[in-house]
């Protein structure tokens, strides 16, 4: 077996990916499948940090569009990510993978507060750490939280899991003629407004040299192949 290429990775999953065949919330089958993929990474010795979005439950911008105060909406969105994090922690622990949810907002009766040094210690001990509540601030996204935490904990790679195989010139689900980019620079992704991550997240990665992979989470085993060095998805670098 090939040894993993990375010691520590941060995987960003969107909340929406958890919906699966449900109309809303979390599809338990999807959750268990993702947990299984993460277990396979941990089993080969990769330290795994996760950021899960909240879009399957609430998004601040969506709530604000219906008249809610934006900051309140964002706080609800952040709390939604905590719920997703707790569900993932539960799914991981059910299959024998120790996990800890660490929240950027203080709700320490349900999970740990985010403390960087403690997070690093969990990772060193082989526990999956789920960074919840985004950055803890309104007007940000969990993409930005993923970049921020990946840089903070010294991840070797940030992986953005999506529904498509990587980065395209246009949405391949809408435009079948869209060009696939196996490798692209941060600046080009920003300039062309490609749907990679939001601008803040890409700029953070660029300014701190955090390599970013965009890959399809619905392809079984792709994550493991990626961390073993296969050229899965698209790579964003300088
Ligand atoms: N959010 C926030 N600050 C953060 C991260 C998230 O206010 O640092 C809120 C924001 O309202 C966002 C929601 O939480 O819409 C859910 O996160 P996101 O939209 O990034 O989830 P995803 O699209 O990945 O499911």
Of 165, 115, 121, 141, the closest CA to residue 52 belongs to: 141
> Is 1 within a domain?
no
Q: Which atom of ligand 1 is nearest to the CA of 104?
A: 8
> Is 229 within a domain?
yes
197: domain CATH number is 3.40.1160.10
- To test the pocket of ligand 1, the residue of 81, 160, 201, 204 to mutate (highest count of ligand atoms within 8 Å of its CB) is 81
Distance between CA atoms of residues 129 and 51, nearest Å: 9
Q: Which residues contact 121 (CB under 8 A, 6 or more apart)?
A: none
Distance between CA atoms of residues 118 and 152, nearest Å: 12
Is the beta carbon of 55 within 6 A of some atom in ligand 1? yes
Is the beta carbon of 53 within 6 A of some atom in ligand 1? yes
ipTM of the complex as predicted:
0.99
What's the total number of domains in the chain? 1
Q: What is the pLDDT of residue 27?
A: 97
Q: φ, ψ for residue 58 (rounded to 5)?
A: -140, 145
Please tell me the residue having the least CA distance from ligand 1 atom 22. 53
Is the beta carbon of 15 within 6 A of some atom in ligand 1? yes
Report how far ligand 1's centroid is from the alpha carbon of 226 (Å): 26
> Is 199 within a domain?
yes
Is the beta carbon of 233 within 6 A of some atom in ligand 1? no
> Is 51 within a domain?
yes
> Is 116 within a domain?
yes
| Strands ordered across the beta sheet of 212-216 | 112-113, 99-103, 128-132, 47-52, 8-13, 157-162, 212-216, 234-237, 183-185
Helix, strand or coil, per DSSP, at residue 124: helix
**Annotated binding-site residue? 218:** no
Q: What is the pLDDT of residue 143?
A: 98
> Is 2 within a domain?
no
Q: What is the pLDDT of residue 195?
A: 82
Please tell me the residue having the least CA distance from ligand 1 atom 21. 53
**Binning pLDDT at 50, 70 and 90, where does residue 1 land?**
low
Please tell me the residue having the least CA distance from ligand 1 atom 12. 59
Give tens-digit pLDDT for 160-216. 999 899 999 998 889 999 999 999 999 999 999 998 999 999 999 999 999 999 999
**Binning pLDDT at 50, 70 and 90, where does residue 81 land?**
very high
**Annotated binding-site residue? 221:** no
Which string of b and e fits 62-83 if b means at least 16 CB within 10 Å?
ebeeeeeeeeebbbbbbbbbbb
Distance between CA atoms of residues 44 and 227, nearest Å: 10
> Is 113 within a domain?
yes
**Annotated binding-site residue? 136:** yes
CB 97 within 8 Å of CB 36: no
Q: Which atom of ligand 1 is nearest to the CA of 74?
A: 11
> Is 163 within a domain?
yes
Question: Average pLDDT, whole number, for the chain?
Answer: 96
Rg, Å, the chain Cα set: 17
Of 10, 46, 38, the closest CA to residue 142 belongs to: 10
The whole domain housing 217 covers: 8-237
């Amino acid at each position: 077996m090939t040894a993993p290429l990375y010691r520590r990775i941060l995987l960003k999953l969107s909340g929406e990916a958890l919906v699966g065949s449900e109309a809303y919330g979390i599809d338990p089958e999807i959750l268990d499948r993702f947990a299984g993929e993460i277990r396979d990474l941990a089993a080969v010795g990769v330290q795994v940090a996760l950021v899960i979005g909240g879009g399957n439950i609430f998004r601040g911008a969506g709530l604000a569009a219906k008249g809610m105060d934006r900051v309140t909406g964002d706080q609800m969105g952040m709390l939604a990510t905590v719920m997703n994090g707790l569900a993932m922690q539960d799914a991981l622990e059910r299959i024998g993978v120790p996990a800890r949810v660490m929240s950027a907002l203080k709700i320490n009766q349900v999970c740990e507060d985010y403390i960087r040094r403690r997070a690093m210690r969990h990772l060193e001990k082989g526990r999956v750490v789920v960074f919840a509540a985004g950055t803890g601030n309104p007007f940000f996204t969990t993409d930005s939280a993923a970049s921020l935490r990946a840089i903070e904990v010294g991840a070797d790679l940030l992986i953005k899991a999506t529904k498509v195989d990587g980065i395209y010139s246009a949405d391949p689900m809408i435009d079948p003629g869209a060009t696939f980019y196996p490798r692209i620079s941060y600046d080009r992704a920003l300039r062309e407004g490609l749907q990679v991550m939001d601008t803040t997240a890409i700029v953070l990665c660029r300014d701190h040299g955090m390599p970013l992979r965009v890959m399809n989470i619905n392809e079984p085993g792709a994550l493991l192949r990626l961390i073993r060095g296969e050229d899965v998805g698209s790579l964003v670098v300088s």
